A and B are shown apart, each in its own frame.
Chain A
Amino acid sequence: MKGVQSILFSQKAAPYIFILPFIISLSFFWVYPMISTIIMSFQDIGTGYSEFIGLANYEKLLGDSVFHTAVKNSVLYTIFTIIILIPLPMLCAFLLNSKNVVAKRTYKSIIYLPALVSVVVSGILFRYMFSEMDSGLMNQILNFFGIDSTQWLKNWGTGMFALLLLATWRWMGVNTLYFEAGLSSIDKVLYESAEVDGANAWQKFWHITLPLLKPTRIYVTTISIYGGMAMFLESYMIYGGNSSPKNIGLTIVGYLYRRGIEKNDLGYASAVGLVLLIVALAISMVYLWSSGMFKKEDK
């Protein structure tokens, strides 16, 4: 008994005891489900039976036009969010650092506020702001500019706009914080010497800020790719459920949820999930490779 205790308390065993919870959690809630989803993706699973059907699920995915719609929606949503939510927050962070800003902390705090709100609450707010009635806020704005009211959530373009506005509202502040943190790690001496050389604000931004923010930009872009490709609840809330007219709001995870949870077709849904994983990994790898992340060792 004493021997066991001295082993447990030895300096050699201690690290393993410390990381034990990670190993347990990893095996139960990561390795097991990971393996299980890979196996399920090759199976036809119904209540009380499961049989191996090889690649049939994946073949079915290739010809599944609803799945194609979901992939298209997810990929476009991801691209649009990156186009909006990288440059805008970067500019915001840059402007926030200006000496002319009067209430930096207040601005920052307010822009961050939406990140505190759950998808449910923000989804409810946006769903009814995009109401098709004349008295909905977005239609009021249209009417103000002399444009007729529209059924925002019945068409692809306007529906996507609603989703993007929601994403911008929620993540603008967070991404600004990221870039702000990136900016604060840039040595002030660089700006000062640029000023001595007579550089203007734009030149400083282009030649110092932008290149030195690259690590932050890569980080934010990568999490945006993952967040965008896995988007589901935003659409679920805005469309008031997992079904939208002509699937205009359907995403890959939405389809996985529909197949797996709503229709209990776990095999097919697992194949959807694995395709999502492969696509997300591939996009982020291509992005990281193209931005030179893997060339670091050459230096």
Chain B
Amino acid sequence: MSQNNTEPNQSSLFDASALVATKKVKKNKDGKRSLYKVLINGFFVIMCAIVAVPFVAGLFASFRPGQMLIRNGLNLQLDFKNWSFTNYGYLFDGSTGYLDWYKNSIVITVISVLLTLIICYFVAYGFAMYNFKFKNFLFFLVIATMMVPFEILMLPLYKEMISLGLIDTFAGVILPGLVGASTIFFFRQFLSGLPKELLDAGRIDGSSEYGICVKIIMPMSKPAFSAMAILSAMGSWNSMLWPLIVLRSADKFTLPIGLNTLMTPYGNNYDVMVAGSMFSILPLFILYLIFNKYFVEGMTAGAVKG
């Protein structure tokens, strides 16, 4: 971006004449630079504000009676006289299925994250630590599954679930997504970076292959587990298409499916819809605030490799 923007502690490494020269140029360019600084930060501040608009509009609407949403749409008006916490009250007083949906989403997310992480870790461990027959072909299959959009498989999977009797069950929602190619890929990448000598050391100590995997390598893989836990929790919490197909009865709905049913033109549950939407974002927001670093790591792992 800017030339000669050498930091003071960095320039102290150079000889004095260079330092003087740097300072001179700095002075001349100061005016131009501060304008540039205002522009670039202004750009990002405006962009952040635009990004925040839908959230703020949704938050405002969650305080208004639901009928106003249908009549007026979403906007940024501060019409405090219409505001109340009534809608949030409806979420918790048991008059709707909202709390059930919340509970179901938590149950499904926790179970699938735990199982996905453990299974994908083991599979990735097999790929990363051993050489075996058909390894390349099998790993090619991992990649191949990523190249077929899930949407194409959903009809036959739906038929399969019917014949397995898994329609309208949590197992039906969870099972097909347990072994995720991208999660395997990420773990394999991480595990490939660990020294293989660890395995031999473990073997000499008399540990079994599985003992090494669980007792030696797994504790070292904590960062990978954290990143993937966040990412798969996010995917599971927000998952909609597959649960929409599998789940039938209202008491088994997850949050996305339940909220979607409130959007029918015939119901008058708009009070719950927006407040419920805003409240459903909360867990991920809290996770994001605490584990910000892992979100970034998990997201970008695939791209850096290229």
Q: Which residues of A contact B (CB under 8 A)?
A: 9-12, 14-19, 21-23, 25-26, 28-30, 32-34, 36-37, 40, 92, 95-103, 106-107, 109-114, 116-122, 124-133, 135-137, 139-140, 169, 172-174, 177-178, 180-182, 185, 195, 201, 215-216, 218-220, 226, 229-230, 232-233, 237, 240-241, 253, 256, 260-261, 266, 269-270, 273-274, 276-277, 280-281, 284
Question: Cβ of B178: which chain A residues have Cβ within 8 Å of it?
Answer: 21, 25
Contact yes or no, B209 A25, CB < 8 A:
no
Closest 4 CB pairs of A and B: A131-B73, A18-B126, A215-B306, A136-B73
Q: Given the interface contacts A107-B44, A169-B51, A266-B155, does A181 sit within 8 Å of B71 by beta carbon?
A: no
Interface residue? B57 (CB, 8 A): yes
**In the complex the two chains form, what is the Cα distance from A86 to B203 in whole Å?**
48
A174, closest chain B residue (CB): B299
Known A-B contacts: A33-B157, A114-B54, A128-B73. Give 15 more (CB < 8 A): A14-B130, A23-B138, A29-B160, A33-B156, A95-B40, A100-B36, A107-B44, A117-B281, A120-B255, A124-B273, A125-B277, A127-B263, A216-B304, A241-B263, A266-B155
B10 to chain A, nearest CB (A): 12
Contact yes or no, A100 B156, CB < 8 A:
no
Interface residue? B259 (CB, 8 A): yes
Contact yes or no, B157 A125, CB < 8 A:
no
B138, closest chain A residue (CB): A19
Residue in B141, B156, B241, B302 whose Cβ sees the most chain A Cβ within 10 Å: B156
Contact yes or no, A110 B51, CB < 8 A:
yes
* B259 interface neighbour in A121, A135, A181, A260, Cβ under 8 Å: A121
A253, closest chain B residue (CB): B151
* A129 interface neighbour in B36, B73, B119, B273, Cβ under 8 Å: B73
0/1 interface trace, chain B 56-96, chain A, CB 8 Å (1 if under): 01100100000001011111110000000000000000000
**In the complex the two chains form, what is the Cα distance from A95 to B292 in whole Å?**
21
**In the complex the two chains form, what is the Cα distance from A253 to B149 in whole Å?**
10
Contact yes or no, A112 B295, CB < 8 A:
yes
Residue in B179, B259, B281 whose Cβ sees the most chain A Cβ within 10 Å: B179
Question: Cβ of B132: which chain A residues have Cβ within 8 Å of it?
Answer: 12, 15-16
Contact yes or no, A118 B240, CB < 8 A:
yes
Question: Cβ of B259: which chain A residues have Cβ within 8 Å of it?
Answer: 120-121, 124
* A114 interface neighbour in B3, B51, B123, Cβ under 8 Å: B51
Interface residue? B159 (CB, 8 A): yes
Contact yes or no, A128 B263, CB < 8 A:
no
Question: Cβ of A226: which chain B residues have Cβ within 8 Å of it?
Answer: 147, 149
0/1 interface trace, chain B 169-188, chain A, CB 8 Å (1 if under): 00000011011000010000
Contact yes or no, A113 B73, CB < 8 A:
no
Q: Which residues of B contact A (CB under 8 A)?
A: 1-3, 5, 33, 36-37, 40-41, 43-44, 47-48, 51-55, 57-58, 61, 69, 71-77, 119, 122-123, 125-127, 129-132, 135, 138, 141-142, 145, 147-160, 175-176, 178-179, 184, 203, 208-210, 213, 234, 237-238, 240-241, 245, 255-256, 259-260, 263, 265, 273-274, 277-278, 280-281, 284-285, 288, 292, 295-296, 299-300, 302-304, 306
Q: Given the interface contacts A100-B41, A116-B281, does A14 sit within 8 Å of B126 by beta carbon?
A: yes
Contact yes or no, A120 B210, CB < 8 A:
no
Question: Cβ of A233: which chain B residues have Cβ within 8 Å of it?
Answer: 240-241
Q: Given the interface contacts A25-B179, A119-B238, A135-B72, does A109 sit within 8 Å of B292 by beta carbon?
A: yes
Question: Cβ of B71: which chain A residues have Cβ within 8 Å of it?
Answer: 133, 135
Contact yes or no, A216 B306, CB < 8 A:
yes
Residue in A14, A23, A185 whose Cβ sees the most chain B Cβ within 10 Å: A14
Contact yes or no, A111 B47, CB < 8 A:
yes
**In the complex the two chains form, what is the Cα distance from A110 to B40 in whole Å?**
16
**In the complex the two chains form, what is the Cα distance from A34 to B149 in whole Å?**
11
Q: Given the interface contacts A30-B145, A113-B51, A273-B155, does A128 sit within 8 Å of B210 by beta carbon?
A: no
B2, closest chain A residue (CB): A99
A254, closest chain B residue (CB): B151
B176 to chain A, nearest CB (A): 4
Q: Given the interface contacts A174-B299, A276-B151, does A118 sit within 8 Å of B306 by beta carbon?
A: no
A271 to chain B, nearest CB (A): 11
Contact yes or no, A119 B40, CB < 8 A:
no
Contact yes or no, B210 A14, CB < 8 A:
yes
Question: Cβ of A240: which chain B residues have Cβ within 8 Å of it?
Answer: 263, 265
**In the complex the two chains form, what is the Cα distance from A114 to B50 in whole Å?**
11
Contact yes or no, B156 A270, CB < 8 A:
yes
Question: Cβ of A131: which chain B residues have Cβ within 8 Å of it?
Answer: 72-74
Residue in B69, B149, B280 whose Cβ sees the most chain A Cβ within 10 Å: B149
A266, closest chain B residue (CB): B155
